[in-house]
Amino acid sequence: MEFWEAVDRLVASGAPVIDRPQGSAHPRYPDLIYPLDYGYLDGTTGGDGAGIDIWLGSGNLQQPTGVLCTVDLVKRDAEVKILLGCTPDEMEIIANFSGADRMGYVLVERPTYPNKD
């Protein structure tokens, strides 16, 4: 199965749950303010045992527009976060936010394919 098709199916099968709204502070690091809505996809399990993390942008919230893969040397873990409805500018904001805490990351933007009509 093609990667983005699998991500689409995963997103379609679980509702987004926002537990850290835009503008809220991180529960352990009060100086860290979330630039966009952040949460998880209900009914899924990520690498940390909790739901797969998601970021919500200003576009279609059912449309995965990218994934962010992170490596945290302090926590000694790695995670994948799905970006839903994010514009290129929002993806850059998320990447900068994630990299600000000495976390390694790679952003994979969903490619756009021309119509095959």
H/E/C letters for each residue in 24-93? CECCCCCCCECCCEEEEECCCCCCCCCCEEEEECCCCCCCEEEEEEEEECCCCEEEEEEEECCCHHHHHH
- Decide if pLDDT at 115 tops 60: no
Residue 92: the pLDDT is 94
- Domain 3-109: give its CATH superfamily: Inorganic pyrophosphatase (3.90.80.10)
For the stretch 30-84, pLDDT in tens is 998 999 999 999 999 988 888 999 999 998 888 999 999 999 888 888 899 999 9
Q: Are 64 and 11 in contact (CB under 8 A)?
A: yes
Alpha-carbon dihedral angle through residues 48, 58, 106, 6, given to the nearest 10 degrees: 60
Please tell me the distance from the alpha carbon of residue 16 to that of residue 115, in angstroms, as a whole number: 28
Radius of gyration of the chain (CA): 14
pTM beyond 0.75, yes or no = yes
Q: Where are the domains of the chain?
A: 3-109
> What would the two tokens of residue 31 be?
């100086």
